[in-house]
Amino acid sequence: MGEYEAIFKRKSVRKYQDEPITVAELEEVYELTSRHPKLYNIDMELHLVEDGSQFLDLLKGVIGSYGKIIAPHYLIATSEIKEGYLENVGYALEYIVLKMTEMGLGTCYIGGLYDKKNVKKIIKMKDSHQPVIVVAFGYPKDATDYIKLIIGSKRRMELEKFCFGDFDNTWRFIMDAVRLSPSAMNSQPWRFYKNQNVIDMYIKSSKNIFHMIEMNRIDAGIALQHLNIAARYFDINLNFKRLANKEKEGGIYITSIIEKE
């Protein structure tokens, strides 16, 4: 299985087996934390919490049907705070999530449901960094939680609702991989506008509380990772670049995706 195939297999897993993953698998995950791709040149780090019980005290109360995600292991992403840092973290983490999917591991993003102030008690974090988001991972408790593509895809938007412009058949295949990107509360906030070889990406801005806007920026980075992987699968090379004068009413400009000739 490659990264592109992993996009169609990945599913958020909220219940895990009690046993830790093997030492060899932990070493592979640790190696991934030091060689992940980044969207922008922004300093960030991914901290592996091998003993998941250390993280449990930082988990907060239950919200809706999500509850506390209790897993044998966690990854904590920290970053310096610069323009684009949230998208950068999402882009890097989703690459690792897909690689862990290839390994047969389950994963789940944890946004604001943990005590960020006390993260330093369990990881060595740079003074210039702040904790951004966490990924729980391990062996899925129930195999049926691991692959629910058919059920999950029914809750996803159709391409016509988030892709606008001249997307040809190849690009529709690429954007279908973007459609499967995980997002906070399944909000699917991204919108893409294509004109020739340039696609402008936005997230919705209306009726969003500040925390959700932050989460949606992370979601944007996740979606861009899916887009880049799918484009490479179809032999299309891309550049990501923030361009000037891209403001749009009702949308927050994220970046432009430029297809190389």
Q: State residue 210's pLDDT score.
A: 57
Give me 43's structure tokens. 């300093």
- Quick one: average pLDDT of 33-60? 89
Q: Is the pLDDT of residue 117 over 90?
A: no
Q: State residue 184's pLDDT score.
A: 85
Q: State residue 169's pLDDT score.
A: 95
Q: State residue 38's pLDDT score.
A: 93
Q: Which band of pLDDT confidence, cut at 50, 70 and 90, is reported for residue 154? A: very low
- pTM of the predicted protein model: 0.91
Say which range, 21-35, 41-55, 98-112, 196-210, has the weakest mean pLDDT.
196-210
Candidates 185, 261, 195, 259; CA nearest to 227 is 259
φ, ψ dihedrals at 33, nearest 5°: -65, -15
Which domains does the chain carry? 3-145 (3.40.109.10), 156-259 (3.40.109.30)
Q: State residue 223's pLDDT score.
A: 97
More confident position, 147 or 222: 222
Q: State residue 144's pLDDT score.
A: 57
Q: Is the pLDDT of residue 168 over 60?
A: yes
Q: State residue 249's pLDDT score.
A: 83
Contact 73, 139 (CB under 8 A): no
Candidates 201, 195, 188; CA nearest to 228 is 201
Q: Which band of pLDDT confidence, cut at 50, 70 and 90, is reported for residue 185? A: confident
Q: State the average pLDDT for the chain.
A: 88
Give per-residue pLDDT as tens, 8-26: 999 889 899 999 999 999 9
Give per-residue pLDDT as tens, 59-112: 764 443 345 789 999 999 999 999 999 999 999 999 999 999 999 999 999 887
Q: Are strands 106-110 and 129-138 parallel, antiparallel or unpaired?
A: antiparallel
Percent over 90 (pLDDT), the chain: 70
